[in-house]
Every structure is written in C-alpha cells, then in structure tokens.
Chain A
Amino acid sequence: MRILFFLLRKEFLQIFRNRLILRMIFALPVIQLIILPNAATYEVKNITLSVVDQDHSEYSRKLINKFTSSGYFKLANYSDTYNQALDQVEKDNADLIVEIPKGFERDLIRDSETKILFAANAISGQTAGLAVAYANSIVKDFNSDIRSEWISPPRFNALPLIEITASNWFNPQMNYKKFIVPGVLALLVTLVGFLMSSLNIVKEKEIGTIEQLNVSPIKKYQFILSKLIPFWFLGLIVMSIGFLISFIVYGIYPEGSFWVGYLFAGIYLIALLGFGLLTSLMAETQQQAMFISYFFMLVFILLGGLFSPIENMPDWAQYLTYINPVSYFIDTMRMLVLKGSSFWDLRFHFLIITGFAVVFNGLAIWNYKKTV
C-alpha cells in the first residue's frame, strides 16, 4: 500500500509538472465541446434552389412560392434552361434544380396529369435524399391543395385513406445537439484517457527510467495500478467538466441517474486505460505507440456510431462493433442522457464493459515483464 502511495505521488507530480500538457488536456475538450456540436447539424433548412420555369403560368408560380415559403428551400436564382441551372450546381450555387416544363398547367387541367423534374447534387447522398424527400412532400401538399380546390369534397373522400401520425420520442423537438453532445463528450473523454495512457509506460522505456522501476521491489499489479489511477481521475474530471458544459451551454443533462453514468464511466475508463497501457507496453517507442493508438482510435471512433448509425452498417461491421468499447460508451451516454435508461436497462452494457476491463488489465499485467 505504501509503495503504491509513493508511486502515485510520482505519477501525479509528473502530470502536474508539465503545464502545457495539463492545460491541453482540460482546455481542448472544453473548447471543442463548446464549439463543435454547433457544427453538427444535418438539419436541412437552406437547400439552395435553381428554378427553371418554362411554363410561366399561374400554377407554376404558385408551386415555386410553395417551395420558397416552406422554410427548407432558398431560391438561389432563376435559370432559362436546364443546362444553365446545371452550371449553377457545378459552381456550388445551387443544390437542387426544379424544372417546370412548358405546358405544366395546361396538361394538369386537360390531361389531369402533369410532370415536373428534380435534379439534386448527389455528391452527398444523404443531403440529396433529404432535399428530394422535402421537395416531394411539398409537391404532394400542393397537389392535394389543387385537388381540394378543384374537386367537390364528397367525391374526394370516396377512397379509403390510411392516416399516418408520427411522433418522435425522447427528443420531441428533434434537437440534434441532444444527440451529438453526449457522443462528443464520450469521445473526448476517450481520447484524453487513451492518448495519455498509451504514451506513458513507453516514455519510461524510451528515456530509460523503466529499468529503475524494474529493479525496485514493486509488484506488477502495483505498477499497473499506479499508472492507471491518475488517468482514471483525470478522465472522470474531464467528464464532470463536460457534463457541466453540456448543462450550462446546451441545457442538456442526463434524464437518468448521474450515479449510473459515473459508475459506467468508471468501469469504462479502467477498460480503456488498460488497453492504453497494453499498447504502451507493446510499443518500442513513443512514436510507435502514437501511430498504433491513432489507428485504434480512428477505427473505434468511425465504427462507434458517433456520426453514422450502426444499424445501417453491413453485418460484418456490426459484429466489429461488439468488440468496440467506444461504441458501448457512446451508446450508454446517449441512452442515459436522452432516454433516461436505468441500471437494469443497461445491464448488458455494464457486463460487457466489465469484461473488457478485466481482459485488458489482465493482459497488461501479464505483459509487463520486469526483465529487460
């Protein structure tokens, strides 16, 4: 116990001595948490339109009006031809082309059927999909307006209609920040914890001080614990600051219990730091440790479901997420913050992350050899 105490004092001294790193550990997450979630919005509200109106009729104007007053679209310009509009898309001045062909109104009245064309810049498939979906729903609205205007009500109601009502639970205002803030917070805690721990032991190796530790009567588990505990505290402090910022800046606080959150984060950090220390023990130089942790972090984060839903991934990628500790942490934070899930709801997450903690730390202790 006394040995562990002295080792801990050494580690804390080393952490506090390096002011630059200490400042970065706290400042970078804080700044990023304040700034970045504001960037994360898929909300589609300013789709720029290039309109090719070749009909110039009353109803084509009405339709265009319906687009611009919907709030989703912003009229960029009128083009005379389709090719001119295409040019606007190429220059990034317009996201969506709406072409109303000649005879639009006439066909609608005479043939009871008419046609318009949408062309979307689909380099980002997601944005294009949403833009077209909104455009279609506007046309559908416009269409039923016309029908109710032109047809007497009884004939119109003669067809069986299924009425669909949709509700959004857990986030009824559809606030994207509520979704992204817990995820970014989880990510920042992960980055800080992992980067610090994965570089630590290998630094002692590179500078040569590890030999002094090896020849002293320190037990293996004491050594690993002394490396783990300081970063464990750092991680929890970063998380607390993160919670505070989420509340002050975004008004977001967990629906569920704080205790469950801290309990999970506590176990998660043990698992994560264990993995970091393992990386550190396997690496020969700090540079190597860095590249290896960069690799794992990137894969963990990309497949962790922060930006792209795991459900949409192919099966093999979904299986990979089962062995990705980061995805459990992000998921837990979200369930806790948005859904207010209880400990019992999260029991499998707890079980799995405890398993990770035991395995990684076991491997770390086993891999630490006191011989050179």
Chain B
Amino acid sequence: MKQLLTFLTKEFHHILRDTRSLLVLLGLPIVQLLIFGFAITPEIRNTDIAILDNAKDETTRQIINKIENSKYFDIDRTLIKNDQIEKAFKTGKIKLAIVFQENFADDLLHTNKAQVQIIADATDPNQATTLINYASAVIMDYQSELNSQNKLPYTINTETRMLYNPQLKGAYTSVPGVMGMILLLISAMMTSISIVKEKELGTMEILLVSPMKPWFVIISKVIPYFIISLVNVATILLLSVFVLGLPIQGSLFLLIFSTVLYIFCALSLGILISTITDTQQAAMLISLLGLMLPVVMLSGYAFPITNMPIILQVLSNFVPAKWYIIIVKGVMIKGIGISQIWKELIILTGMTILFLLISVKRFKIRL
C-alpha cells in the first residue's frame, strides 16, 4: 500500500509540474461547453440574402421591408439582373436570393396570383430547407395580413408542444454530447500517452523492475487521471446547471454513478491503446485521429442514429459514447430512473471488462 502511495505521489508530481497541460485538461471542457452553449445554436439569425426586385412596386416594397425587419435575414445586396444571382452565390456570402416577378402588385390585384421565387444555396441542404421555410413563412405572413378580413373556411389549427426543451436550447443536445466526448477522449488519450511515455523514454524498465506488481504501475497511472476526470465532470455539471440553465431532472447519484462507470470504460480503453503502441505519437494518433471523428459522428450526438444506414447503426453500438449519451439524456433531461437504463449500464460494464481483458493479455511485463 505504501509503495502504491509513493508511485501515486510520483504521478501527481508529473502532472502538477506541467501546468500548461493541466490548464488544457481542466480548461478544455469549460471552453468546449461555452462554445456549444453560446456559439453553436440551431437558430437562424441575420443570414445574408440578396433581393432581385423586378417589379419595384408598393407590394414588393412592403414584403421586402417585412423580410428586412425579421430577425432571420439581413439584405446584403440588391441585384438588378438575373445573371447576377449566380455570381452573388459564388463569392460565398449570401445564402438565399428572393426574386420578385415583374408586375407583382398588378398580378396580385387583378389575377389574384403573383409569383415570387426563392433560390437557396443548397450546399448545406438542411440549412437551405430551413431558410426556405423561414422566408416562405415571412411571405405567407404578409399574405394572411392581406387576407385578414376574409378568413379561410374549414381550418385545422395546430398546437405544438416541445417536450423537455420548450425553448429549443442547443445545450440540451450539446451537454450530454460534450460529456461523452470529452471524458472519453481525455481519459483515453491521457492514460495511453502517460503509459507509452515511460516506454518511449525507457523509464518503464525501471518501473517494472521495482518491487511493485506490474499492474500497480498501471493503476497508479490511472488514478490521477480518474481524479482529473471527476473534476471535469463537476465543472461540466456546475456550468450546465448554473450557466446554461440545464436541469438535472433525475437522480444525481445515478448520473454520477454512470459517469464513473463511463470514465472507467474510457480509462481501460486508454490502457488498451497503450499496450498496442510504442510511441507517444502513435498513441496520440490513435486516440485523436482514430477516436475523435467516430465519437462525434457515430455516437448519436451530432447526427441521429436512426437515420443512418444499417451498417453504421450496427457499428455505432461499438462506440461507448453512444450508450453514455443515452444515459445522460435520460437521467438528466427526461428524469428516468435505473429501470430504463440498466441495459446501457450493463453494456458499458461489459465494454470495460473486455478492454481490460485484452490489455491484460497483451501487457508485456518484460520489454
């Protein structure tokens, strides 16, 4: 026990001595959460658009006014000719062009029908769909003002309720995602690198010939990072509750229990990486290049898993973050109890055991 304590002290010295790394380790979750909480929002605001008004009459002026006054759009430029549209898109800034046909007001008055064309930059198809919907809504709004005296007969009104997240805050998806991502990446990267570092610098031999059992060497490596991860969890939760206004509906104990389990899983993945690599660079490439994108894209955090092709849906089951994110969403936001997430907890436990078994098999006591 005393030996373990000595080893632990050594590891803590290593970590505390390197203040820059420590700053990144503790500061990164904060920065990431704030970026997600405040910078990345799904709402459309002040998108630059172009207007081509071939009619230039009172009605089109009123509509353009309405568009300009909505918080969604900023009119970046007014075009005169049709062939300017493509150029405006190609230089990149505008995302939408609205074209009014000639004699717009006349047509509307006499034939009860006038045409407006909305052209979207569909480079990003989703954004294009959303923008077209918003622009149509503004124009339809003008139309219903026009028709306000005579109400349409046989109307089906719809009432919409947004469950769990009535203000549609982005934080509701990003907080579970950030937790899943940052705990996995930091824990896996940190442990793998710090073990491989001893190999690369040759100090591993010294550790292995010491009277400590080889496994205690690894455990003393893991414990400090486990504590750092716990600190990260605490900051993330405090920030999300007090700064981002996210509730913790379910049991805090259950949330922390599953988080600890997830950290174990990530740490054992780190140990596994360290047994298959020899240089810090290789360990880093695996944990960053190999883990970062799959965790972001296959965990169901950036993209809904149900929309993916079957093969990827199967593949996503191997990403621990997927299961953890389901747990966090359920416990934190929906407030469900252990009876509905026991399956996920068992899967995480199984993965942890699997990673550890493979590591034990591959761990070389002699170098």
The residue in B47, B112, B311 that gathers the most chain A C-beta atoms within 10 A of its C-beta is B112
Q: Are B47 and A311 in contact (CB under 8 A)?
A: yes
In chain A, residues 134-157, which have Cβ atoms closer than 8 Å to a Cβ of chain B?
135-136, 139, 142-143, 146-147, 150-151, 157
Partner of B39 from A108, A123, A136, A314 at Cβ < 8 Å: A314
Residue of B nearest to A317 (CB): B39
Does any Cβ of B come within 8 Å of A164's Cβ? yes
Does any Cβ of B come within 8 Å of A372's Cβ? no
CA distance A242 to B142 in the complex (A): 48
Chain A: minimal CB distance from B160 (Å): 5
Chain A: minimal CB distance from B356 (Å): 23
Does any Cβ of B come within 8 Å of A371's Cβ? no
Q: Are B41 and A18 in contact (CB under 8 A)?
A: no
- Residues of chain A with a CB closer than 8 A to B308's CB: 38-39, 41
Majority secondary structure of chain B interface residues (helix, strand, loop or mixed): helix
Q: A24-B282, A35-B315 are in contact. Are A160 and B109 (CB under 8 A)?
A: yes
Chain B: minimal CB distance from A180 (Å): 9
Chain A: minimal CB distance from B13 (Å): 14
CA distance A40 to B185 in the complex (A): 21
Q: Are A157 and B112 in contact (CB under 8 A)?
A: yes
Partner of A312 from B18, B43, B143, B158 at Cβ < 8 Å: B43
Q: Are A312 and B41 in contact (CB under 8 A)?
A: yes
Q: Are B128 and A174 in contact (CB under 8 A)?
A: yes
Partner of A122 from B35, B40, B120, B166 at Cβ < 8 Å: B166
Does any Cβ of B come within 8 Å of A175's Cβ? yes
- Residues of chain B with a CB closer than 8 A to A307's CB: 296, 302
Partner of B173 from A46, A124, A294, A303 at Cβ < 8 Å: A124
Contact size range, A:
35 or more
Q: A28-B285, A128-B168, A302-B32 are in contact. Are A120 and B20 (CB under 8 A)?
A: no
CA distance A42 to B125 in the complex (A): 9
CA distance A340 to B91 in the complex (A): 10
CA distance A117 to B158 in the complex (A): 6
Residue of B nearest to A283 (CB): B20
- Residues of chain B with a CB closer than 8 A to A339's CB: 89-90, 121, 123
Chain B: minimal CB distance from A316 (Å): 8
Does any Cβ of A come within 8 Å of B118's Cβ? yes
Chain B: minimal CB distance from A70 (Å): 15
Partner of A38 from B36, B120, B279, B309 at Cβ < 8 Å: B309
Number of interface residues of B (CB under 8 A): 120
Q: Are A36 and B172 in contact (CB under 8 A)?
A: no
Q: Are B168 and A122 in contact (CB under 8 A)?
A: yes
- Residues of chain B with a CB closer than 8 A to A143's CB: 154-156
Q: A123-B329, A127-B304, A167-B120 are in contact. Are A288 and B20 (CB under 8 A)?
A: yes
Q: Are B154 and A158 in contact (CB under 8 A)?
A: no
Q: Are B307 and A43 in contact (CB under 8 A)?
A: yes
Q: Are B122 and A172 in contact (CB under 8 A)?
A: yes
- Residues of chain A with a CB closer than 8 A to B302's CB: 40, 307
Does any Cβ of B come within 8 Å of A365's Cβ? no
Q: Are A36 and B154 in contact (CB under 8 A)?
A: no
Chain B: minimal CB distance from A18 (Å): 7
CA distance A286 to B108 in the complex (A): 69
Q: Are A162 and B289 in contact (CB under 8 A)?
A: no
Does any Cβ of B come within 8 Å of A203's Cβ? yes
In chain B, residues 301-352, which have Cβ atoms closer than 8 Å to a Cβ of chain A?
302-304, 306-309, 311-312, 315-316, 326, 329, 333-334, 336, 340
Chain B: minimal CB distance from A45 (Å): 7
- Residues of chain A with a CB closer than 8 A to B112's CB: 157-161
- Residues of chain A with a CB closer than 8 A to B286's CB: 24
Does any Cβ of B come within 8 Å of A354's Cβ? no
- Residues of chain B with a CB closer than 8 A to A342's CB: 90
Partner of A125 from B155, B168, B197, B280 at Cβ < 8 Å: B168
In chain A, residues 260-317, which have Cβ atoms closer than 8 Å to a Cβ of chain B?
283-288, 290-292, 294-295, 297-299, 302-303, 307-309, 311-314, 316-317
CA distance A128 to B336 in the complex (A): 20
Partner of B42 from A126, A170, A298 at Cβ < 8 Å: A126
In chain A, residues 77-118, which have Cβ atoms closer than 8 Å to a Cβ of chain B?
86, 89-92, 108, 112-118
Does any Cβ of B come within 8 Å of A331's Cβ? yes
Q: Are B281 and A120 in contact (CB under 8 A)?
A: no
Does any Cβ of B come within 8 Å of A367's Cβ? no
Chain B: minimal CB distance from A306 (Å): 9
Q: Are B293 and A32 in contact (CB under 8 A)?
A: yes
Which of B132-140, B208-216, B237-245, B258-266 lies on the face that meets chain A?
A: B132-140
Partner of A179 from B31, B120, B123, B155 at Cβ < 8 Å: B123
Which of B3-11, B21-29, B50-58, B358-366 lies on the face that meets chain A?
A: B21-29
Q: Are B139 and A120 in contact (CB under 8 A)?
A: no
CA distance A136 to B123 in the complex (A): 25
Which of A191-199, A212-220, A245-253 lies on the face that meets chain B?
A: A191-199
- Chain B 200-227, CB within 8 Å of chain A: the 1/0 string? 0100000000000000000000000000
In chain B, residues 273-302, which have Cβ atoms closer than 8 Å to a Cβ of chain A?
277-282, 284-286, 288-290, 292-294, 296-298, 302
CA distance A43 to B362 in the complex (A): 43
Does any Cβ of A come within 8 Å of B199's Cβ? no
CA distance A345 to B158 in the complex (A): 45
Residue of A nearest to B14 (CB): A287
CA distance A29 to B288 in the complex (A): 12
In chain B, residues 135-157, which have Cβ atoms closer than 8 Å to a Cβ of chain A?
136, 139-140, 142-143, 146-147, 150, 152-157
Q: Are B122 and A122 in contact (CB under 8 A)?
A: no
6 contacts between A and B (CB under 8 A): A112-B153, A115-B158, A118-B160, A163-B113, A188-B289, A286-B197
Q: Give the 9 A-B CB pairs with smallest separation, nearest first.
A: A125-B168, A168-B122, A317-B39, A122-B162, A119-B161, A171-B122, A174-B125, A291-B24, A122-B165
Binding site for B on A (CB under 8 A): 18, 20-21, 24-25, 28-29, 32, 35-36, 38-46, 48, 86, 89-92, 108, 112-130, 132-133, 135-136, 139, 142-143, 146-147, 150-151, 157-172, 174-176, 178-179, 184, 187-188, 191-192, 195-196, 199, 203, 206, 283-288, 290-292, 294-295, 297-299, 302-303, 307-309, 311-314, 316-317, 320, 331, 334-335, 338-342, 345
